[in-house]
Amino acid sequence: MRPLYGIVRADEMPGVRLSDDERRLLETVTAGEGKVPRHRHAVASELVRRGYLKRDVSGRYSSNDPDLVPDKPQHIWLPNAIVEGAADETAPLVLLRQMQDAKRLQLFVALYDNHNLPNDGGISRALLYQDHTLAVVGQHRGWTVWAFSAANATVSGAGSPLPKIFFNGQKSEDGKDFGLVDFWSAIDALRNCGLMEFIPHVFESNEPEAELVFGYPTAEGACESWELTLAQTAHNVAMTCSTAGQREWVVQQSRHLFLMPSHADRLAVIGIARLRYRPRTRMTAAWFSKSKERSEVLQRSYDNLKKLADLQSATSSIAT
C-alpha cells in the first residue's frame, strides 16, 4: 500500500512558525528597542539563527527584515513540473532534496515569488542580475552594430531580499554578512542543476525604468526557440553588415553582435535570471505572446537588412 501524506501550510510548520514569546520579542525589537533583557537572550539568539534578527558588536539587536514575518501566508504559483519532472529528467524537487539544505529550497521558492516574465524577462534585475560590457562596433544604413561580452559579474541588487535568506547576523571586516557566501553557492547549485540560468537581455538603457527590447540567449537552457533563433540571426546579420577587420575582432574577442537603430544609443545588456520550469498561468501566457511577437518583428527587420547587405555585396562584386 502507498502511504498517505498530508500537507502542512508553510506558515504553520514548527520550524517556521513563531511562538508567542518569539513574536513578542520580534515586535519589540522591530519597534526600535534594540536592548534585550538577559533572560530573553536565548529567544533572541534563536531569532538571529533563523534570520529574523541581527546582532551588532555591541550586543544590540535589530530586525533583519520586517517583511520576513507576514501577517498572512503568501501564495506562490509553482509549476507541476517541479514535482513531476519533464520527460526522463530528474524532478527538481528530487534535486533540491539531494542538496540537503532547507535554505536553498527557500531560495528556490523565493525566486518563483519574484519571477515576472512579462515585465522583467525573469527575476527582477533590481534583485539579481549579471553585468555585460557593451561596445559599438560600427554603423550600417542607420543601424548601429553592437557587441557584448560574456558576463563580467553576478550581482545582487541593493536591498534584495534573496541573500537575506542566508544571513546569520555575523559580518566580516568589510561589513558583509557571512551568509552571502552560502547565497552565491546556492545560486551556483541551482544553475548547475539546470533549474535556472542567466539570459542576456537588451534594454533601452541601464536605468531601472528602461524598457526591455529582447532576450539574447547565448546557449540553450531556460530560453524559448524563437529567442535563440533571433539571437543567432542578430549575430549573423551584424557580422554580414560589418567590415572584415571588425569581424576578425569579434571572433578574437568572442563577442556577440546585434544591430539596433542608431538613435537608440544608450543600450545596455543585462543578464536576467530565469527559472527553467514555468508555471502555467495567465502571466506566463502573456509573456509567451509578447516575447514571440517582439522577436518576430525584429526577425523581419534583420531579414530585410540581410537582403540589402547581400544585394550590396553582389552589386559590388559585379562592379569589380
pLDDT digits (tens, 9 = 90+) for 215-249: 999 988 889 999 999 999 999 999 999 999 999 99
Determine the Cα–Cα distance for residues 170 and 44; give it in Å rounded to an integer: 14
Does residue 81 carry a pLDDT above 80? yes
Of 96-105, 156-165, 220-229, 262-271, minimum mean pLDDT range: 156-165
Q: Could you read off the pLDDT of 47-64 as tens digits, one per residue? A: 887 778 888 877 788 877
pLDDT of residue 16: 61
pLDDT of residue 6: 55
Determine the Cα–Cα distance for residues 243 and 259; give it in Å rounded to an integer: 14
pLDDT of residue 242: 93
pLDDT of residue 315: 66
Q: All 3 cell numbers of residue 308?
A: 540589402
Q: What's the whole-number average pLDDT of the chain?
A: 86
CA distances from 249 to 155, 239, 240, 277, 301 (A): 28, 11, 14, 37, 25
Residue 165: closest CA among 218, 106, 227, 119 = 106
pLDDT of residue 75: 73
pLDDT of residue 264: 95
Residue 129: closest CA among 137, 118, 121 = 121
Mean pLDDT of 296-302: 94
Does residue 318 carry a pLDDT above 80? no
Which pLDDT band holds residue 319 (cuts at 50, 70, 90)? low
CB neighbourhood size of 170 (10 A): 11
Mean pLDDT of 130-142: 94
Q: All 3 cell numbers of residue 60?
A: 544590540
Q: Hey, what long-range contacts does 54-61 have (CB within 8 A, 24 or more apart)? A: 54/167, 54/169, 54/177, 55/169, 60/34, 60/35, 61/29, 61/34, 61/35, 61/36
Q: Is the model's pTM score more than 0.85?
A: no
Does residue 37 carry a pLDDT above 80? yes
Q: Between residues 13 and 105, which one has the greater pLDDT?
A: 105
Determine the Cα–Cα distance for residues 125 and 121; give it in Å rounded to an integer: 9
SS3 119: helix
Of 15-19, 37-41, 71-75, 158-162, minimum mean pLDDT range: 71-75
Mean pLDDT of 195-209: 94
pLDDT of residue 116: 87
| CB-CB contact of 162 with 107 (8 Å) | yes
Which pLDDT band holds residue 314 (cuts at 50, 70, 90)? low
pLDDT of residue 128: 94
Determine the Cα–Cα distance for residues 227 and 153; give it in Å rounded to an integer: 23
Which pLDDT band holds residue 74 (cuts at 50, 70, 90)? low
Does residue 79 carry a pLDDT above 60? yes
